[in-house]
Amino acid sequence: MNDAAPGTRLTPAAEAGRLLLIAMAVTAVLVPLLWIAFAAFRTPADLTNPGSFAIDPTLDNMRDIAEGGIPGAALRSIIVGFAVTIIGVFVGALAGYSIARFRTGGIPLRFAILFPTIIPPTVLAFPLLALALQFNLSDSLIAVIAAHLTIVVPMITWFMTGFFASVPREVEEQAAIDGYGPFAAFWRVVVPNVLPGLGASALLAFMMSWNELFYALVLAPGSSQTLPVAISGFNTFQGVKLGPMSAALLLTVAPVMVLSFVIQKRLVRGLGGSGVKG
């Protein structure tokens, strides 16, 4: 680029360093993923042979998990994920709007809202379990959904507060003059302006729930296992069942990756360019 401002063009050494850093970051992220994808199609014999990269492609691992508890756990994870996403986005968005527009709770609430996410899950897990037992909800999806919401709602509230704050108040006032009541104005004028934020919130909520192990393990270790709990079950007393575990991990990671890849372009564009600057 010859039209770069003076002093902003990278020297060849700096350019090489830059590419090296990128390569390292990409490697750190991709190698474990690729290894899982590789291992998912290897036989148990190959897998337990250290130093060997031999592969005799097989679908045994896939067949294995298809017959086990994984499909059921996946379905439960999907149910929990969608419930957490829908409730979390709905409650979090309304709370964020309230804080941004009506200064509900003042400045303190803006910060206090994040406290629950600072507390380690280990502190909250057992009180939550006690509550679940009290209400006869232990080992149920409802308990897991409720536990996930304790993380997701504050996160989305905090995230969406910023988005709502960036929508000019005048736009809502304009809608009020144009003929809409407060709820219709919120729905027709404010929500379309924060759609990228809502999309990002939904994605974050779903991924958080989909990946969450600790609460799910404590609150629903039995017949209501979610996918991460079921996968942790491959770590047995007889050792780790590497093949089926890799297959299950691949099935766990794949949808999230595809999802973020599809959404990412829209998301970044939306996050960067929402609203009309005057």
Partner 1 sequence: MASIRFENVVKHYGAYQAIRNVSFAIPDGEFVVIVGPSGSGKTTMLRAIGGLERVNSGRIFIGDRDVTDLAPKHRDIAFVFQNYALYAHLTVRNNIGFPLKARKMPKDEIMRRVEDVAERTGLKALLDRKPSALSGGQQQRVAIARALVRKPKVFLFDEPLSNLDAQLRLDMRREVLELQQSLGVTSVWVTHDQEEAMAMGDRILVVNHGMVEQNAAPEALYSDPVNAYVARTIGSPTINMLRGKLNGQGLDVEGVRFPLPGGALQGDIMIGVRPEDIHPVKAAADHPNATPPFEAKVQLIELLGARAIMTLLVGNHRLTAVFNRRDLADIREFDTIRVSAAKDRLLYFKPETGERIRL
List residues binding partner 1 (CB under 8 A). 168, 170-171, 173-181, 184, 189, 192-193, 195, 273-276, 278
CA gap 73, 161 in Å, rounded: 34
| DSSP run (H or E) holding 205 | helix 195-211
Q: Which candidate, 226, 214, 241, 256, places its Cα nearest to that of 69? A: 226
Q: Which is nearer to partner 1, 7 or 179 (CB)?
A: 179
Paired sense of beta strands 235-236 and 239-240, if any? antiparallel
At its nearest, how many Å lie between partner 1 and the CB of residue 225?
42
At its nearest, how many Å lie between partner 1 and the CB of residue 248?
41
Q: Which is nearer to partner 1, 109 or 191 (CB)?
A: 191
Going 209 to 210 to 214 to 215, the CA torsion angle's sign is positive
Task: Write the single-letter amino acid at 126.
Answer: F
At its nearest, how many Å lie between partner 1 and the CB of residue 99?
21
| DSSP run (H or E) holding 227 | helix 227-232
Q: Which is nearer to partner 1, 28 or 265 (CB)?
A: 265
Q: Which is nearer to partner 1, 63 or 169 (CB)?
A: 169
**What backbone torsions phi and psi does residue 240 show, to the nearest 5 degrees?**
-85, 130
At its nearest, how many Å lie between partner 1 and the CB of residue 265?
18
